[in-house]
A and B are shown apart, each in its own frame.
Chain A
Amino acid sequence: PIPVSSGQAFPLPSLPRKQPTVLVVCGPAQNGAIGLVCARHLRIFDYEPTIFYPKRSPDPLYRDFTTQCEKMDIPFLSYLPTEVQLINDAYNAVVDAVLGAEAEAGEGRGPCAAILATLKHIRIPIVSLDVPSGWDVEAGSSGGISPDVLVSLAAPKQCARRFLGRQHFVAGRFLPYDVQKKFELNPPEYPGTECVVALRAPR
């Protein structure tokens, strides 16, 4: 669902750079693993993803995701340039798969802090997976990153109310009905066979 919504938000012909390059920044846990899967699908969709995955999870499933990406010739950066202009120039968009809903509030200040500090200053659009990294999952964030696109997984988190970007997608079509009812999710109708649905943008 995430690569589909990334694809929908930035259809290939509309990208400003000649090459459809996308930087996918992956954190150490599940959100990062979803980023790896996203990168692989972006590659299948003919984008040119590059991954920055500094802290790799030891989880065997996530290690396999890494192998799949490597075997698909997706490059892995060894460091993230601190010069934001380099990122702005090289890529059309950044997928933020650093921290998800399960992240502790303090993680935004730990090892991921440097990454988030860089991302705060880039000019190209950011697509955040589930929760804009560094935001408090309920309260949102002041002074954190400002994504252009948010893809909520399963259902929007509370902080999504503070999302001010252009497009908000929900990727939750896989949730069984009894789970939806139990948590009173009231998801919108998904069009046709789409696995993501765009919610009305806040502005």
Chain B
Amino acid sequence: QEEAQAIDQELFTEYKFSVDQLMELAGLSCATAIAKAYPPSSFTTSQPAVLVVCGPGNNGGDGLVCARHLKMFGYEPTVYYPKRPNKPLFEGLTTQCQKMGIPFLPEFPAEAALIDELYGLVVDAIFGFSFKGAVREPFGTILGTLERITVPIASIDVPSGWDVEKGKADGLQPDMLISLTAPKKAATHFAGRYHFLGGRFVPAALQEKYALNLPAYPETDCVLQLT
């Protein structure tokens, strides 16, 4: 977890990347990976409806970017974003989604069965690699519901609620994991069908410094399928 934070720090302080830049590239990777694994034609719901659950931090921001690109790719995303930071970055991303006609739910569906009926996929953009400690409401209840749905879950970077290094045997079991920059230790516990790598912005020098040993991305793709 510290390594991931150190890499991020270097990208911002040494390389002068802005959070906006990297978040846009990360969110685009997530949408691209989802489109490869779950093309719109594969949905059994009448529209390719996707529920994107966004948490209170950067993982939630990645989710907002992802939702916007999913819309561009022909999906019908809906966002649930209960805790919104008062920062221009997140306000901007929210506006961009709203202006694209992406609905924001006022309430989280109370029953897992309702989610299964309405959506063909759920994107878990609740907690990322900085997550530590206890899960605060409303996310505890949300995760509880998500643990009972049968439609696939695509988690951004780390399955929410998992310990970033050790995983969580009785926690969320996503079908897809999109690891950003490099897989986190918890990814060794990932048991779903699709593991993608995204966030193709790490300069070669940083990859070497942190011995990331990333496999090569194909051509100009922004994602790489690991499994």
Contact = CB atoms under 8 A, between A and B. Distances in A.
Interface of A: 3-4, 7-8, 11-12, 43-45, 61, 63-64, 67-68, 71-73, 173-174, 176-178, 190, 192-193
B15 A68 contact: yes
Given A173-B72, A177-B100, 10 more contacts: A7-B219, A44-B201, A64-B18, A67-B16, A68-B17, A72-B205, A73-B204, A178-B99, A190-B72, A193-B32
**Among B31, B32, B205, B219, residue most surrounded by chain A Cβ atoms (within 10 Å):** B219
B73 interface: yes
Interface of chain B, main secondary structure: loop
B184 to A, nearest CB: 21
B46 interface: no
A3 B101 CA distance: 29
B35 A45 contact: no
A189 B130 CA distance: 38
B168 interface: no
Interface of chain A, main secondary structure: helix
Given A44-B200, A173-B72, A71 B15 contact: yes
A45 B219 contact: yes
B88 interface: no
A193 B17 contact: no
12 contacts: A7-B220, A44-B203, A61-B18, A64-B16, A64-B17, A64-B18, A71-B14, A72-B15, A72-B204, A176-B99, A178-B99, A193-B32
B166 interface: no
Nearest to A8: B220
Given A7-B220, A67-B15, A72 B203 contact: yes
Contacts of B72: 173-174, 190
A177 B32 contact: no
Contacts of A63: 16
Contact of B73 (A8, A67, A193): A193
A4 B220 contact: yes
Contacts of A8: 220
A193 B205 contact: no
Contacts of A71: 14-16, 203, 205
A68 B205 CA distance: 12
**Among B36, B72, B96, B201, residue most surrounded by chain A Cβ atoms (within 10 Å):** B72
A158 B73 CA distance: 27
**Among B16, B17, B200, B205, residue most surrounded by chain A Cβ atoms (within 10 Å):** B16
Nearest to B73: A193
